[in-house]
């Protein structure tokens, strides 16, 4: 079965380094200011190949969520959730919701990224910050 | 006067392997009878026999993504004027393009997949397809994996936005199982109810196990011939009246096109292209064959291609429209959910059978045009088959 591991292409390293430090940075185009996620060598908006790494605030809203009832990885015993979060800066990231889930639908709830230790790796997770 | 690839080529032969028998034997502990090229080869011999032509008439070869091109041609003894590798829907379109441009006249399309006996993983730490689709592997650090999860995530939001209920989604599995119960070649033939569906386990919530495709060994082949030659020599030729394609690539890994518009803009562009090329509209279509790795593809296609209004797919299905005998019977062989998971290849030959009128107990009456559609990972494709 095996454990999860991040895709670590040439452009991914700085993001994971920032996650390890507890403050997610994303790649921002030096040409037009658009964020790139996942990181990559060129801006899909303006085709600039220049970029800088910028810390994001970590606030966002839940776009959708699922609950896994089947085991796919040794480090994720079911049931467990995954949520798609639209960050305030624009990009959509996948993460896990930690803390008490809201009653009913999770969609639209306000979340803040936290940083957790997962099986020897530091990564982000989302916590609900609104009143529901 | 033909338009684009309309009436350029026709399907003159179809073939498939004995997937029901193979599934039963493998469930009983038997090993796979054939490997992927072997399954493709068996289907090819049957398609050739169905076409009533000799192997030596074949001058083009397109193989599916699960078999190597050169080895497949070597096994079948086909030296091709034109060849390549493609998924089911693009293989049909490429065959038409090759024929239109004069690069080939008789193209064999072959597919074999021993995914069950070969233990292909569609999720987990070595998920298939990750080399082609980054979204299949990129979110694994958060345990997010499998194509089923990608569609579960997408469809959860669609359900909330449109009010489509789990029971309404269950109509897909129920309708397709009903069709499969009338198909002697289908793997799953026992009829189910919406109550059975709701009581079945979740795999990736909100999707139940009955929303997921089967995993089985099998092969499919088609012989596609230049239309004029098909008219002269082909028996039971089924015309390809129109094709369309639109790929949403931008934002694919972060799932922007999945989660904001559910790929519907791509389907709408393809609808305009394919219906215009074929000179028909949704009201002319007698049956739809919709790529169903997961049941939720069906409501999205119903809306995307204009068979129902925006947000009305749940009601459209609950009113019985997608069942045999309904307005638009969908996946009349049982599809990926109940007949056989042949990655869209089985849908092509079911479309051909329905137009030929050889659908047996599941035949759709007065079946003049059949619409095939897929939206795998935002790559929307359509083909319209007809008399």
> What is the per-residue pLDDT for B334?
98
> What is the per-residue pLDDT for A132?
45
The closest of B258, B243, B173 to B210, measured between CA atoms, is B173
Residue B312, judged by CB atoms within 10 A of its CB (0-12, 13-18, 19+), counts as middle
> What is the per-residue pLDDT for B123?
85
A66 and A51 both lie in a single domain: no
Mean pLDDT of B176-196: 98
Q: Do A4 and B259 touch (CB under 8 A)?
A: no
Q: How many domains does chain A have?
A: 2
Window 93-112 of A, Cβ < 8 Å to B: 93-96, 105, 107
Picking from B121, B123, B130, B144 by the largest number of A CB atoms within 10 A of its own CB, the best residue to mutate is B144
Provide the CB-side half-sphere exposure for B333 (13 A, CA).
28
> What is the per-residue pLDDT for B132?
83
The domain of A72 spans 58-132
Window 16-45 of A, Cβ < 8 Å to B: 37-38, 44
A49 and A90 both lie in a single domain: no
pLDDT-above-70 percentage for chain B: 99
Pairwise CA distance, residues B212 & B292, whole Å: 8
Is residue A1, in this structure, part of any structural domain at all?
Answer: no
Can you say how many angstroms the Cα of residue A58 is from the centroid of all Cα atoms in its chain? 9
Pairwise CA distance, residues A32 & A94, whole Å: 25
Quickly list H helices, B222-379.
227-233, 256-261, 264-278, 297-304, 313-318, 335-338, 345-356
The closest of B361, B360, B383 to B222, measured between CA atoms, is B383
Mean pLDDT value across chain B: 96
In this predicted structure, the answer to whether residue B381 has a pLDDT above a threshold of 50 is yes
In this predicted structure, the answer to whether residue B361 has a pLDDT above a threshold of 90 is yes
Predicted confidence (pLDDT) per residue in B198-233, tens digit = 999 999 999 999 999 999 999 999 999 999 999 998
Tens digit of pLDDT per residue, chain A (132 long)? 899 999 999 999 999 999 999 999 999 999 999 999 999 999 999 999 999 999 999 999 999 999 999 999 999 999 999 999 999 999 999 999 999 999 999 999 999 999 999 999 999 999 999 864
A19 and A79 both lie in a single domain: no
A40 and A97 both lie in a single domain: no
> What is the per-residue pLDDT for B130?
78
> What is the per-residue pLDDT for B1?
52
A111 and A124 both lie in a single domain: yes
CATH number at residue A70: 2.40.50.840
Predicted confidence (pLDDT) per residue in B296-353, tens digit = 999 999 999 999 999 999 999 999 999 999 999 999 999 999 999 999 999 999 999 9
Q: Do B160 and A105 touch (CB under 8 A)?
A: yes
A72 and A23 both lie in a single domain: no
Q: What is the DSSP letter of B221?
A: E
Is the CB of residue B204 less than 8 Å away from at least one CB of chain A?
yes
A90 and A131 both lie in a single domain: yes
For residues B225 and B130, the model is more confident at: B225
Domains, chain B, with CATH or none:
9-119+213-386 (3.40.47.10)
């Amino acid at each position: 079965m095996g454990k999860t591991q991040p895709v670590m292409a040439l452009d991914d390293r700085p993001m994971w380094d920032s996650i390890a430090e507890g403050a997610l940075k994303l790649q921002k185009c030096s040409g037009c200011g658009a964020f790139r996620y996942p990181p990559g060598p060129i801006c899909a908006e303006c085709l600039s190949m220049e970029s800088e790494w910028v810390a994001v605030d970590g606030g966002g809203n839940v776009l959708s969520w699922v609950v896994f009832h089947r085991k796919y990885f040794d480090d994720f015993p079911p049931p467990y959730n995954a949520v798609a979060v639209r960050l305030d800066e624009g990009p959509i990231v996948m993460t896990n919701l930690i803390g008490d889930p809201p009653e009913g639908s999770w969609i639209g709830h306000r979340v803040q990224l936290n940083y957790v230790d997962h099986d020897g790796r530091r990564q982000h997770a989302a916590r609900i910050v609104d009143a529901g | 006067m033909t338009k684009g690839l309309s009436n350029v080529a026709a399907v003159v032969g179809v073939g498939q392997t004995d997937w029901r028998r193979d599934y039963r034997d493998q469930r009983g502990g038997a090993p796979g009878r054939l490997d992927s090229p072997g399954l493709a080869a068996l289907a090819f011999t049957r398609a050739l026999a169905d076409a009533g032509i000799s192997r030596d008439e074949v001058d083009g070869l397109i193989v599916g993504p699960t078999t190597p091109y050169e080895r497949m041609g070597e096994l079948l003894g086909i030296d091709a004027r034109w060849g390549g590798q493609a998924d089911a829907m693009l293989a049909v379109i490429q065959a038409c393009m090759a024929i239109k441009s004069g690069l080939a006249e008789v193209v064999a399309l072959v597919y074999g997949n021993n995914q069950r006996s070969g233990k292909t993983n569609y999720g987990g730490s070595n998920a298939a397809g990750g080399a082609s689709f980054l979204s299949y592997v990129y979110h694994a650090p958060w345990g997010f994996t499998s194509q089923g999860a990608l569609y579960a995530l997408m469809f959860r939001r669609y359900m909330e936005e449109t009010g489509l209920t789990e029971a309404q989604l269950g109509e897909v599995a129920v309708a397709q199982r009903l069709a499969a119960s009338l198909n002697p070649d289908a793997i799953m033939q026992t009829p189910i109810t919406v109550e059975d569906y709701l009581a079945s386990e979740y795999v990736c919530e909100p999707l139940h196990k009955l929303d997921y495709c089967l995993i089985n060994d099998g092969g499919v082949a088609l012989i596609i011939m230049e239309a004029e030659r098909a008219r002269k020599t082909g028996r039971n030729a089924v015309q390809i009246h129109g094709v369309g394609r639109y790929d949403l690539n931008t934002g694919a890994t972060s799932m922007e096109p999945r989660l904001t518009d559910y790929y519907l803009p791509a389907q709408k562009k393809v609808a305009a292209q394919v219906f215009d090329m074929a000179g028909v509209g949704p009201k002319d279509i007698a049956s739809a064959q919709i790529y169903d790795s997961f049941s939720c593809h069906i409501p999205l296609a119903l809306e995307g291609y204009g068979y129902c209004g925006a947000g009305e797919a749940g009601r459209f299905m609950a009113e019985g429209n997608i069942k045999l005998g309904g307005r638009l019977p969908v996946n009349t062989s049982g599809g990926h959910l109940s007949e056989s998971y042949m990655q869209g290849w089985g849908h092509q030959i079911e479309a051909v059978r329905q137009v030929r009128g050889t659908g047996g107990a599941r035949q759709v009456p007065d079946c003049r045009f059949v619409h095939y559609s897929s939206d795998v990972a935002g790559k929307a494709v359509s083909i319209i088959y007809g008399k």
